[in-house]
Structure 1
Amino acid sequence: MINQAILLCAGRGSRLGINTENKPKPLTDVNGDTILENSIKNLIEFGVNRLVIVVGYKNEMIEKVLKEYEDTVDIVVINNKEWDVTNNLYSLYLARQYLKNETLLIEGDIFFDSKILKQVDMEEKNLLLASPLNELMEGAFVTAQNNKVTGFYSTKSNEHHNIDDPLKTLNIYKLSNDLCVYVKTELEKAVSQNKVNIYYETIFKKALKEGFSFEISKVEPELWMEIDDQYDLSLSEYIFSKTPHEQLKSQHGGYWRYPITDHALIYNFHFPPQELKNKMIDRFDNLLLNYPSSSKYFVKHLSKFLKVSEEQLLIANGVSEIIKVLPRIISGKVVLTRPSFNEYFNCFSNEQIINFDILEQNNFELDKEGLISTIKSANAKALVLITPDNPTGKLINKTDIIDIYEETEQIGTNIIVDESFLDFSSKANETFLNELDKYPRIIVLKSMSKTFGIGGIRLGYAATANKELLENLYSEIPIWNINGFAEEFILNLPRYFKEYSKSCNLVRQETDELVDNLSDIKQLKVFSTDSNFILCKIKDCLINSNDFAEKLLINHSIYIKECSGKEMIDSEYFFRVSSRTAKENKELVSAIHYEIQKVAEQREVLI
């Protein structure tokens, strides 16, 4: 029976910056609960009778918190007055008299789910909890064979890069009585030699060599977090959030850091090729240090890839940078189709916008004649068309756009054609990039982040034969609007044209397969798509899309885009999913089918 736990809480946690200026690291707050109190509550629930807590930096603050738990559990406080010049080995040394029988040893910077302690075996043996080491983790890690530790290491030595299947320790250990006796002796020996600024894992490493065995219990990484800096704290706030879905919706990106699969944002998982990535990795130091050229200087390299005159091109920090300045160069009424990309609605004023609805009853196909009539009635100065559209995935036929262009010749309407997803379509050749001179009132906008798989770099461009409009755009955009990584990507891009085309074809195949598999789910209405995302509607008002998306996130760690914020009838029952890899797409379909089937069965029971 494990009756006690030793918590090492002496350090300041200087890497947490302002968070620990006025309080010790264990009192760092994670969604309303401190690291220390999270540990105490979980240990009390586990059945521990005594807590031995080594304090140091601002010890009085921790002791004040501990008073609230004195009636619930026996608490022993030990003050490490040398906390600023010693390491965790010395803190454990100060608590050495309590190293007896079976003892839990826990670091004071671990925030964890109570489920973890259920994995602590009650048998008389040494045990450590560990998770697969990933790129976001650092500190002590181990190697193992048959669930037994074969070596103790640290990421500081970079040895993990050359080791297969390293496991990050949670810094939660169960020590047998025999190991406690050994550790106590080694602690006293180390302190007598003034080795007070090292880690206690040094002793565990020696114990392993001298015949002690450590078993491993593997833990899901989303059940715990070692909080050493602001980065860790940020991850913790998501992992232990009571409303994770709402948090993701408010972030609009950065999801890769969390233990989820993102089917909301739009990617090309087959480009760039590894060769191009490696070139950028090799040049990382220079790209980070040095200023990039002005975008006007290297636009010629994008020009060669697109086969568009550089005099007709503008490069931007994502197409959203261009969208934001449109109201400053376009006056008068602007016709926007809906549902569509919300950023266009956000940038123009309500007084400027004329809405034209594309209806589900028409399978979200564009009513060309109705749109032309709306443009003429409003004497609109601009029209925005997204092809394929977002979120419907519907392509607007090029011939229809040309008809609209010709019908609006007299009133001179500029037509903004957003082709951000066109390369994912089987009709990618319907671009206007090759006919800009023929249609000078057309402005092609394109985000490269999606189809080129470079969301983190952020690139986009505008292309038009309208020199005045292009000059006006340039006047609104900073001279250094593109970072060095984006410049390097564009400089290397022309030689990878074939690889890019091949990657888009593969995305098309995988998306078509995903559409077919989703269409087999009878509770969904699945719309055909010309992009790599798919619009779905939950039939019979079974459940609203926000609640459904939340179920997928909580139960399957899958994030999808619920469309209640889109301007469309019954928007609260629509959601959009993007295609990832074939394997991930299968897991998505399985999760959606399971959750929607469960909802349907629950409704039948109620009826």
Structure 2
Amino acid sequence: MQAIILAAGMGRRLGELTRDNTKCMVSVNGVRLIDRLLGQLATLSLTRVIIVVGYKGDELRQYIGHRYDGRLNIEYAENPIYDKTNNIYSLSMVKQQMTEDDTLLIESDLIFSDQLFRMILDNPYPNLALVAKYETWMDGTMVRMDSDYNIVNFVPKKAFNYADVDQYYKTVNIYKFSREFSCHKYVPFLEAYCSALGNNEYYEQVLRVITLLDNAELKALPIGNEKWYEIDDIQDLDIAETIFAEGDEMLHRFNYRYGGHWRFPKMLDYCYLVNPYFPTTRMKDELRANFDTLLTEYPSGMFVNSLLAGKYFGIRQQYVVVGNGAAELIKSMMEHVEGRIGVVYPTFEEYPHRLQPEQVVAYQPDPQTLSYTADDLINFYDEHPIDNLLLINPDNPSGNFIPMDGLLQLIEWAKQKHIRLVIDESFVDFSDDFEHNTLLRNDLLEQYDGLIVVKSISKSYGVPGLRLGILASADSSLIQYIKRDVSIWNINSFGEFYMQIFGKYEKDYMATCHRFIAERNRFGKLLQQIPYLRVLPTQANFFCCQVTDRYSSAELTKQLLSRFNIMIKDCDSKNGLKGRNFIRLSVRATEDNDRLIEAFHILAQ
């Protein structure tokens, strides 16, 4: 068995990183791609490794030098017109060598698990293409296969059809060809293809022609959950460095993204807090049906969006302002706050981060239960005077919940004390009896114009990608200030249309909330069986748990990410929880929750 590495390309999309070097000289987490690849090949029994060079080929030869002597027999071939041809021509430079031995064919811009070479070599079938189930980040050649893993078609970019993605597998660009296959099929077709269509093509096009034969003899080998990435640009490089990072560095790389985890479709995200059961398929179908119009038309301004939000929540238009997520409104409001503000710690840090430290009057509940009542807050702040009080209800990350009678008590107390009361009820629709727990009511807002209610639509309604949130108050000066402070087009057309059609799906939404509560109760009972977790009661869509044995919160977080590709929230960074080994787990759908429970049990062994 020999290996052929295609490394002639210029890698223009990597910009400055390939100005003086070819793509395989790019480093991922401090290790150059070519070193990683040659190190992996050195563990195999190979007769030789042939590297086809072109752009900056002399630099690559010089870099490799004799460092692999005794481990690999490295030869070189050259594509002298690399800037005018594509990889079909690079492969044609070594077509004679392909007929001399069985061949591993590898593109040099890949990073992948060590296991992939073992998978393809240990498989008895002589002619294989490693493939991965299609994911949104993938680009380039796809394949379709039958039930026996025979490749029935190679699908080039121009033939790609999004309606067929469920049947597509992406070529990993690692192949195994027998000498006989190269001699009698691939090389003859390669020569004919180049003669007929020229050299500015891709070698997969030859495989596409071969698969049209009745007996193509080429099968696909899916790689399952093994890691790999193809690096074409700096975004690819950033993702590859995240996927292949380890320990603290992997956590750091995921955390600084603040979202965008759809780029890592195999990762199970237990950090971000959204309704797993809404929107329904029918509602998403309606959004899809209007995609073209919404993409190409301007959204409305604040007047229309406030009208829609008022209709959405059953409150007067003049009491509500819509934000590009609740975070936009929080920023605007908190930067407008004057005087001292009471904050319950631990909390959602987006609020206090907008304040000066001397403004904050902190209340810390019982350190074991993290629970508190309306009476607790009233008693504390009667003795520690404030101008404003912030309450997340249910609270984040504790899940503590003050029911409606307690909230009404707080509102009356705040009114008597002339304290502005900010209540964030982003998670209230996950609470028991949620239909009666909202403060988004005209009578309550009008009862005290110092009451401000904030709600994230992203969380309860499962649409974080739309970035929607509202702030409601009968304080007209505050509402007008925020409307002037934010952009006139702070909501896009997709978010506006979602608010417009929501009313048709409100009953579905209510049903999904009840379904969610049932799943939370089931999930909570399973979590209580994990011997090293102490689970706090919750009325939100997450559980706050203390890690009591075997691991620290940081160690458990790293174990879940590195071993199971599951990301949870380590609360050690939260004010009031540092060093106390608390974690936060979102509640997802049943299948995902069972996967997390299984991982916890494995870690208990």
How far did 1:548 drift? 0.6
- Measured on the aligned residues, the alpha-carbon RMSD in Å equals 2.1
Contact 1:255 1:262 in 2 (8 A): yes
Q: SS of the counterpart of 2:410? A: helix
TM-aligned CA distance change 1:159 to 1:296, over 3 Å = closer
Question: How far apart in 1 are the matches of 2:222 and 2:554?
Answer: 33
Runs of 4+ in structure 1 over 4 Å off: none
Structure 2 residue identity aligned to 1:558: I
Distance 1:372 1:517 in 2: 36
Q: Which residue of 2 aligns with 1:118?
A: 118
Residue in 2 that maps onto 1:240: 244
Matched, 1:496 2:505: yes
The equivalences for 1:155-554 within 5 A come to: 155-159=157-161, 161-162=163-164, 165-182=167-184, 183-193=186-196, 195-208=198-211, 209=213, 211-242=215-246, 243-258=249-264, 259-361=266-368, 363-428=369-434, 429-434=436-441, 435-539=444-548, 541-554=549-562
Q: Deviations over 1:428-467 (max 9, x none)?
A: 2122111211122110001111011111111111001111
Secondary structure of 2:273's match?
coil
Secondary structure, counterpart of 1:86 in structure 2: coil
Q: Measured at CA, do residues 405 and 167 of structure 1 come closer, stay the same or move farther in structure 2, by a change above 3 Å?
A: closer
Question: For 2:276, what is the secondary structure of its paired residue?
Answer: coil
For each residue in 1:345-389, what CA deviation from the matched residue of structure 2 results, as whole angstroms up to 9, or x when unmatched? 21111010000011144x333243442243334431100011100
Percentage of identical aligned residues:
30
Distance 1:18 1:278, change over 3 A: farther
CA distance in 2, matches of 1:408, 1:159: 59
> 2:64 maps to what in 1?
66
Does the CA-based 8 Å contact 1:7-1:52 persist in structure 2? Answer: yes
- State the match for 1:37 in structure 2: 35
Q: Which digits, 9 at most, give the CA deviation of each residue in 1:519-578, with x for residues without a partner?
A: 122332111111110111122x43211111111111111111111112335653111111
Give, in whole Å, the separation in 2 of the partners of 1:244 and 1:529. Answer: 29
Give the equivalent residue in structure 1 for 2:26: 28
Structure 2 CA distance, aligned partners of 1:446 and 1:407? 22
Residues 281 and 65 of structure 1, relative CA distance in 2, 3 Å threshold: farther
Q: What residue identity is the alignment partner of 1:20?
A: T
Cα deviation, 1:187-230, whole Å, max 9, x if unaligned, reads 33333445212222232233341634123332135421122334
Q: Are the counterparts in 2 of residues 78 and 94 from structure 1 also a CA contact under 8 Å?
A: yes
| Number of positions where the alignment pairs a residue of Structure 1 with one of Structure 2 | 593
C-alpha deviations, 1:454-483, integer Å up to 9, x for none? 111111110011112222222322222212
Greater CA deviation, 301-310 or 27-36? 27-36
Task: Give 1:145's match in structure 2, choosing from 140, 144, 147.
Answer: 147
TM-score by length of 2: 0.93
Q: 1:403 to 1:194 in 2, by over 3 A?
A: closer
Name the residue aligned to 1:88. Answer: 87
For the Cα contact (< 8 Å) 2:151–2:220, is it kept in 1? yes
Unaligned 5+ segments in structure 2 are none
Runs of 5+ consecutive residues of structure 1 not aligned to the other structure: 599-607
Deviates more, 1:390-399 or 1:516-525: 516-525
Q: Which moved more, 1:464-473 or 1:14-23?
A: 14-23
**Aligned-partner residue type, residue 90 of structure 1:** Y
Paired residue type of 2:287: M
Measured after TM superposition, the shift of residue 512 of structure 1 is 1.1
What letter corresponds to residue 549 of structure 1 in structure 2?
T
The residue type paired with residue 480 of structure 2 is E
Cα distance change on mapping 1:387 and 1:168 into 2, 3 Å: same
Assess if the C-alpha contact under 8 Å between 1:265 and 1:578 holds in 2: yes
Q: Which amino acid aligns with 2:524?
A: V
Residue deviations 1:467-511 (CA, integer Å, cap 9, x gap): 122222223222222122211211222222111111111111111
Which is worse superposed, 74-83 or 383-392?
74-83
Bigger shift: residues 576-585 or 199-208: 199-208
Residues 125 and 294 (structure 1), Cα distance of their counterparts in 2 relative to 1, 3 Å cut: same
Q: Do 1:444 and 1:463's aligned partners in 2 also have CA atoms closer than 8 Å?
A: yes
Q: Is the 8 A contact 1:132 1:221 kept in 2?
A: no
**What displacement does 1:427 show?**
3.2
Task: Give the match for residue 579 of structure 1.
Answer: 587
- Which deviates the most, 399-408 or 305-314? 399-408
Kindly indicate whether the alpha-carbon contact (under 8 Å) linking 1:379 and 1:411 is maintained by their aligned counterparts in 2: no
Deviating more after overlay: 249-258 vs 184-193: 184-193
Q: CA deviation at 1:109?
A: 1.8
TM (norm. structure 1) is 0.92
Matched, 1:557 2:560: no
Amino acid at match of 1:359: D
For residues 286 and 410 of structure 1, what CA distance do their matches in structure 2 show? 51
Any idea what the Cα deviations from partners look like across 1:263-302, whole Å, max 9, x if unmatched?
1111112111223222322333333333322123221112
Match in the other structure for 1:603? none
Which shows bigger deviation, 530-539 or 560-569?
560-569
Per-residue deviation, 1:70: 5.1
Question: In 1, are the aligned partners of 2:453 and 2:471 still within 8 Å (CA)?
Answer: yes
How many angstroms does 1:140 deviate by?
2.2
Sort the Cα spacing of 1:423 and 1:59 in 2 relative to 1 into closer, same or farther, 3 A: same
